Chains A and B, each alone.
Chain A
């Protein structure tokens, strides 16, 4: 009995209110798992909205999905999956006490995360460039190639779903489609693209948080803060990263591959 709180000069990472490093690590890990549950519930609201509207407007969903850039998203999926591998390996490196490998793997993870965001914002940029009347973000910046067929897939006052795609949905004549296709058109197509921007945007915010967390952990690793006896931040940071990855694994088929 009588474990007094401050007899642990041997392990500076052990906080005063825990008895053993094992207890502290279990608490931190369980805490992260519980937090991941809340994250799933947070995205759950958006998935629920997606489910309701996809069930209500299946034809529109089928027509809208091909207007997203699937090749870029596929590359992004690969990038994220590889980053999950490097995170898993970094936890392994921390366990083995290999500092050089740990820092390197964390930096690669951060780089992959930044790549993902870069590609994501290229995708967003494309949509916004189309609304401005240009074919691509580069053309928008340099005043280059204009878009042949007007199209604006950013929800809001200028939203315009292409006419031929509207007609192709079936049940709608070309004349009706042309009449409907005016900027700011109020159709459920907006719901699809709103959910797309919302879900991937929320995911991107989580990526930014994840990259920040990984940067701090990489900095800590480079300052020799971890050892085979203590690397909890690497482990729970890795858990968070895997969750972001898994959410993308669901978003990708739901929006790009319907």
Chain B
């Protein structure tokens, strides 16, 4: 089969029957199609997780438990946590944007292992199915952390199904990470040296390292919980001398690095957006690249800061706290370098840029409160309060979510060939920003004042903050629905984007939108560094 025939086949890919069309999607090994499968499924999970969050917020409008029982409330916030963490935040940016863009950005025809990539998607869906079954059959009430011995011996909910879901999803994550690492090592176009790579690639490389090193550990920890739950024998059972805190160590050894699985790809997206919309090479490129690797490495050394109150010795708490503060250094390197890139840049406030600037603001708040929490004394005071809830939502929603939306807008023309509606885009970005802050900023205050997390009844004095938060979450929800509508509409009514709507220099813009099956008509050869913006284009 000649190259031309293949490209024509893709361009006129109108399968004649419905089953052929279905096969062309469900059995595809094309990284771009798999990315779109992920895009659809991950957004469905996001909507489900968001629905659970809305129910939680609705319950919290009044101090009494009037919408549901305490038990139901436990199941609802667990559903929210499990879906958002395992099925949205962890796979979100890597599996959608990473999958679509990594081969394009490095000038390759596909990922190194296309079939493995498809398998990852099926594992993701399999894991998701388990988790959804668990929810349908009555839910699970352990929180997304599955702490023993509650999860192994006492909980009367679908722990086994949910853990099986997280376990299976973990292998999807491992295989994706493995695929990215090998692809980045072995598939780069001629001339594309490591220091010519876009920072998006560096960020995904660091993420993938965490995925393949940390995920197996939580897999075995969850497997041990599963065995203990099913056969009532296990290593975490205090009755036979086992140590439940060992579970927490194994769990957080993954789950702390996992928050960097969530935020590092987001930082990669932000680097691309900031460069394109200020039309400057990222200031301190090498520092930003290595700060990703530094965050990945430091991320493995700080899990104990989740366990200050779990019988861990004060001394190890202090050490974990100190290393946690060190994470602030590479994070600050990124923020300062992005800011320096803006300086004297030719800034245009398009929708992706609004999300990127929103990210910087929110990430600073999320990151700085992270430093508060690394201090043992402060952390013990606010342990299990809304202060912690607000902190990690600022990083995960304010960070990862903003970057995900910004990235989807930025590469939407490449993925679909159509432009989204810029006016609605601007509105949605502002609505999300306002809604987000109204939802989560009051949570810092009430958390500091002592409102504990995971309670559905609370003293009258906290009601004002809860009402503000629920109002904010409603606005936030609207902010998420608006893009859903106009992005879908753009598929039909959007203006044709052309190959390079942003006049950006990356390799992904050097091919058609959407790209042909093998990405490039001819093998690209790279002769310059990343973000080489043409000076004269700055006036456009």
Contacts and interface: CB of A to CB of B under 8 A. Distances in A.
Nearest to A34: B178
B217 A190 contact: no
Contacts of A156: 231-233
Contact of B185 (A1, A30, A52): A30
A187 B239 CA distance: 8
A142 interface: no
Interface stretch (B14-22, B88-96, B106-114, B429-437): B106-114
B240 A186 contact: yes
A2 B213 CA distance: 37
A39 B216 contact: yes
Contacts, number: 129
Contact of B216 (A19, A26, A42, A186): A42
A106 B335 CA distance: 55
Contacts of A49: 224, 235, 246, 250
Interface string B217-236: 10111001001000111110
B108 A17 contact: yes
A17 B109 contact: yes
B3 A31 contact: no
Interface in B495-536: 518, 522-523, 525
Determine the interface band of chain B, counting residues with CB < 8 A from chain A.
Answer: 35 or more
A52 B240 contact: no
Contacts of A1: 190, 522-523, 525
Interface in B168-207: 174, 178-179, 181-183, 185-187, 190
Contact of A188 (B6, B174, B241): B241
Contact of A42 (B3, B113, B217): B217
A223 interface: no
A190 B242 CA distance: 9
Given A38-B215, A52-B243, A195 B186 contact: no
A4 interface: yes
B113 A31 contact: yes
A143 interface: no
B241 A57 contact: yes
Contacts of A224: none
A33 to B, nearest CB: 9
Interface in B110-158: 110-114
Contacts of B178: 31, 34-35, 38
Given A1-B523, A27-B187, A30-B185, A198 B227 contact: yes
Contacts of A17: 108-112, 114, 187, 518
Contact of B217 (A44, A186, A187): A44
A191 interface: yes
A257 interface: no
Nearest to B186: A27
A30 B190 CA distance: 20
A41 B213 CA distance: 6
Interface residues of A, number: 43
Interface string B239-264: 11111001001100000000000000
Contacts of A198: 224, 227, 235
A45 B240 contact: no
Contact of B240 (A2, A16, A190): A190
B1 interface: yes
A18 B522 CA distance: 14
Contacts of B235: 49, 53, 191, 194-195, 198
Nearest to A185: B240
Given A1-B525, A49-B224, A190-B233, A41 B518 contact: no
A74 interface: no
B302 interface: no
B2 A42 contact: no
A187 B213 CA distance: 33
A5 B1 CA distance: 10
B319 interface: no
B212 interface: yes
Contacts of B112: 17, 27, 31
Interface string A168-191: 000000000000000000111011
A188 B235 CA distance: 9
Contact of B242 (A31, A39, A43, A191): A191
A125 B207 CA distance: 44
B97 interface: no
A48 interface: yes
A34 B181 contact: yes
A46 B190 CA distance: 43
A91 B249 CA distance: 41
Interface in A188-220: 188, 190-191, 194-195, 198
Interface in A213-242: none
A5 B220 contact: no
Nearest to B227: A198
Interface string A125-162: 00000000000000000000000000000011100000
Name which of A17, A42, A194 has the most chain B CB atoms within 10 A of its CB: A17
13 contacts: A4-B3, A5-B3, A6-B6, A17-B110, A17-B518, A34-B178, A38-B212, A38-B216, A42-B216, A42-B217, A48-B250, A53-B242, A56-B243
Top 7 A-B pairs, shortest CB-CB distance: A45-B220, A188-B241, A42-B216, A41-B216, A17-B110, A17-B109, A155-B233
Interface of A: 1-6, 16-19, 23, 26-27, 30-31, 34-35, 37-39, 41-46, 48-49, 52-53, 56-57, 155-157, 186-188, 190-191, 194-195, 198
Given A43-B220, A46-B224, 16 more contacts: A2-B522, A5-B518, A6-B6, A16-B109, A16-B518, A27-B113, A27-B182, A31-B178, A41-B212, A42-B220, A45-B217, A45-B221, A45-B250, A52-B243, A191-B240, A198-B235
